[in-house]
Structure 1
Amino acid sequence: MPALVTRKETETLQERTLVAAGTHFEKIFGYSRAVRVGPLVAVAGCTAAAPEGPIGGADIATQTVECLRRVQGALEDVGASLRDVLRTRFYVTDISALEAIGQVHLDFFADIRPASTIVEVSALAHPSLLVEVEADAVVGN
């Protein structure tokens, strides 16, 4: 019978930085606006939601600008910037607005050019929300 070999694996624990946006969804679902572990940063879906209705009203381009401003703010809260972004993901309720959304993305990321995905979905958290944006970044990349 072969000898039983036991391997001891060592886990390196890194500091985990959490950013809260203060929304009620964070408390209900138990998530953070952004999380940084080492050089890696993940920014959760950002919308243009506001108490009086979405910033930008029914204009998807203006909502997209607000989403990306919130992504930018979350990145800055963990010591990152738009220059560190390597991927963006857009969830939209109307894919026919692709060019308007793409122009806003270009305005924020023309020199950075992260990998990007845009997907049409049937609905977001509230019917007035037209777009939601996520981002992943590597600090110092």
Structure 2
Amino acid sequence: MINRIKISTGSPWEPIVGYSRAIRCGNVIEVAGTTAMKDGAVVGKDDAYAQTKYILEVIQAALEQLGSSMSDVVRTRMFVTDISRWEEIGKAHGEFFKEIRPVATMVEVKSLIEADLLVEIEAQAIVEE
């Protein structure tokens, strides 16, 4: 059995749904879909750039707790509620990943778990053991 190291953010949804913010199994780290929620409120309401930046900061913190960094990210998946705002989202993503350039997917979805959320991002990192 692979040893799993789990990171939790204390989100009220984690125990209800049964998930972790991030899990490290060996040299692979998976970060769950992350939104711009802090203490039950949306960060950057109606600001796709601000939401994306906040999300990537949360992802960065989770990776660091697991002994990794953004430079280890090999894939991101971005779920957005309005694809016409891709440049705002892409700008924030580029600020974190301009030199790293992981593979990335951005798709439009009908909605996210909270009406004011515009972006949700997943990440995968591979670290040296």
Regarding TM over 0.5, the answer is: yes
Q: CA deviation at 1:14?
A: 3.0
Quick one: which of 122, 127, 135 aligns to 2:115? 127
Quick one: which of 50, 67, 75 aligns to 1:62? 50
Give the strand-richer structure, 1 or 2: 2
- The CA deviation string for residues 43-96 of structure 1, in whole angstroms up to 9 with x for no partner, is 001111124631112101000000100110110111110000000000000000
Q: CA deviation at 1:138?
A: 0.2
- The CA deviation string for residues 25-57 of structure 1, in whole angstroms up to 9 with x for no partner, is 111111000000110000001111124631112
Structure 1 equivalent of residue 83 of structure 2: 95
Q: Which runs of 5+ in 2 are unaligned?
A: none
Normalised to the residue count of structure 2, the TM-score between the two structures is 0.96
Q: Within 1, Cα distance between the matches of 2:9 and 2:49?
A: 22
Q: Give structure 1 regions of 4+ aligned residues with deviation exceeding 6 angstroms.
A: none
Query: Per the alignment, in what secondary structure is the counterpart of residue 85 of structure 2?
Result: helix
Structure 2 counterparts to residues 75-114 of structure 1, below 5 A: 75-114=63-102
Figure out how many residues of one structure are paired with residues of the other and give that number.
129
Q: Which has the larger radius of gyration?
A: 1
- The CA deviation string for residues 91-137 of structure 1, in whole angstroms up to 9 with x for no partner, is 00000001111111110001100000001001101001110010000
The percentage of aligned residue pairs carrying the same residue is 46
Normalised to the residue count of structure 1, the TM-score between the two structures is 0.88
Residue identity opposite 1:41 in structure 2: I
Q: Within 1, Cα distance between the matches of 2:13 and 2:127?
A: 27
Q: Within 2, Cα distance between the matches of 1:107 and 1:50?
A: 21
Residue identity opposite 1:128 in structure 2: D
Residue identity opposite 1:88 in structure 2: T
